[in-house]
Amino acid sequence: MGIYVNKELCTVCKGREEPLCVENCPGDLIFINKEGKVEIRNQAECWDCMACIKSCPYGALETRLPYQIADYKATLKPLLKRDKIIWKLRDIRGNIEEYIIPRKINKGGV
């Protein structure tokens, strides 16, 4: 399991003490490297919980399945809106599918 960081889109969440992905990773696997960029310590230690991806306001992160269990080139990216998540899925043949999942949160909640 692991993630891919799009360095063009990543702003390192300027103004925050820690970027949101660094803050939220339950495994403490994401850090700011010497070049000041977001980096994952070890792809093999990722649980694939997507906490980082869902918390990224810039859509700069992507899940990558380990090659051991999945062919190269398929991608899945969520775009988090207040009331929904738009999942963009690309299979290995290049077909693109979109899934819109309502993010139902009751009134009075977050």
Residues that bind other proteins (CB under 8 A): 1-2, 23-28, 31-34, 41, 43-51, 54-55, 63, 65-71, 73-76, 78, 85, 87, 89-93, 99, 101-106, 108-110
Q: At its nearest, how many Å lie between other proteins and the CB of residue 13?
A: 14
Do the beta carbons of residue 90 and residue 75 sit within 8 Å?
Answer: yes
Nearer to other proteins, 58 or 75 (CB): 75
Q: At its nearest, how many Å lie between other proteins and the CB of residue 89?
A: 5
Nearer to other proteins, 55 or 58 (CB): 55
CA atoms within 13 A on the CB side of 58: 16
Q: At its nearest, how many Å lie between other proteins and the CB of residue 106?
A: 5
Residue 59 is which amino acid? G
Do the beta carbons of residue 74 and residue 63 sit within 8 Å?
Answer: no
CA atoms within 13 A on the CB side of 87: 12
Q: At its nearest, how many Å lie between other proteins and the CB of residue 5?
A: 15
CA–CA gap between residue 110 and residue 92 (Å, rounded)? 37
